[in-house]
Structure 1
Amino acid sequence: MEPNLRRSSSDGELLKDPASYRRLIGRLMYLTISGLEITYAIFTLSQFLSQPHTAHLYALHHLLRYIRSTVGQGLLFSTNFEKRLMAYVDADWAGCPNTRRSVTRFCVFIGDSLVVWRSKK
């Protein structure tokens, strides 16, 4: 998902049967444990569970194509990696277009490997 792309609750037409959208989001929530790079996209799309629109479904299908193409990737530590802990934090004031609430994000690296990532409204 593009970082500066703002989804709103009025993107596209309302889905006639939102049950499949809800099931897919529910199944993808499990992947956030091991797939840190998809966490932001899943949590952004899960904000529209009550009234998903076609644009949200298209974004979800795009995410599923991304997951299918990156099945063999994972977190790897080399035997001689530099034991360095780095953390980055970002916050945008009133960044959500629907609720006008702030979104705070952080990520933590050990060496060059991402180990923790979180985004919270």
Structure 2
Amino acid sequence: MEDAKESHFLLPFGLKLNAEEGEILPDPERYRRLIDRLLYLNFTRPDITYATQHLNQFMQQPRWPHLDVALHVVRYLKQYPEQGIFFPRKNDFKVQAFCDSDWASCPMTRKSIMGFCIFLGLALIS
């Protein structure tokens, strides 16, 4: 994807992926390997956590729209390679936590998607 066009946004606004929309991928292993790599990248790129968690729901039977969105995430990463977690040398060691939930927005299961972040001073630790 070296020659792919870069994306300024992680996901299109209002994107709703469906488990039954689109054709099933002939080689689901390609999709699974890509999502595995994105999940590993979550450790240093928490900005893609929501997208990778959402795409991870379709690992059993991935379809073309799911792969298209996963490749869109890769194009976003290409646009902003310098972003990531920053760990400053000087820190005040004050713990802060934030969380958010979308309250049952999954149209298939009506489950909520929740996220949180915990800071130790200025450093994101979880």
Give TM-score scaled by structure 2 length. Answer: 0.73
Alignment length (residue pairs)? 116
Among 88, 97, 106, which residue is 2:98 paired with? 88
Tell me which residue corresponds to 2:115: 105
Query: Does the CA-based 8 Å contact 1:87-1:108 persist in structure 2?
Result: yes
Query: Does the CA-based 8 Å contact 1:11-1:56 persist in structure 2?
Result: no
Among 52, 57, 67, which residue is 1:47 paired with? 57
Query: Once the two structures are aligned, what percentage of the paired residues are identical?
Result: 41
Work out the CA distance in 1 between the residues paired with 2:14 and 2:120.
26
Query: Does the CA-based 8 Å contact 1:91-1:103 persist in structure 2?
Result: yes
Work out the CA distance in 1 between the residues paired with 2:13 and 2:122.
21
Query: Does the CA-based 8 Å contact 1:108-1:115 persist in structure 2?
Result: yes
Q: 1:67 and 2:53 equivalent?
A: no
Structure whose residues are more often strand by fraction: 1
| Matched AA of 1:73 | Q
Q: 1:28 and 2:38 equivalent?
A: yes
Query: Does the CA-based 8 Å contact 2:99-2:115 persist in structure 1?
Result: yes
**4+ residue stretches of structure 1 with deviation over 6 A?**
79-83
Which deviates the most, 103-112 or 26-35?
Answer: 103-112
C-alpha RMSD over aligned residues = 2.4
Q: 1:18 and 2:4 equivalent?
A: no
Which deviates the most, 7-16 or 107-116?
Answer: 107-116
Give TM-score scaled by structure 1 length. Answer: 0.75
- Structure 2 unpaired stretches of 5+: 1-10
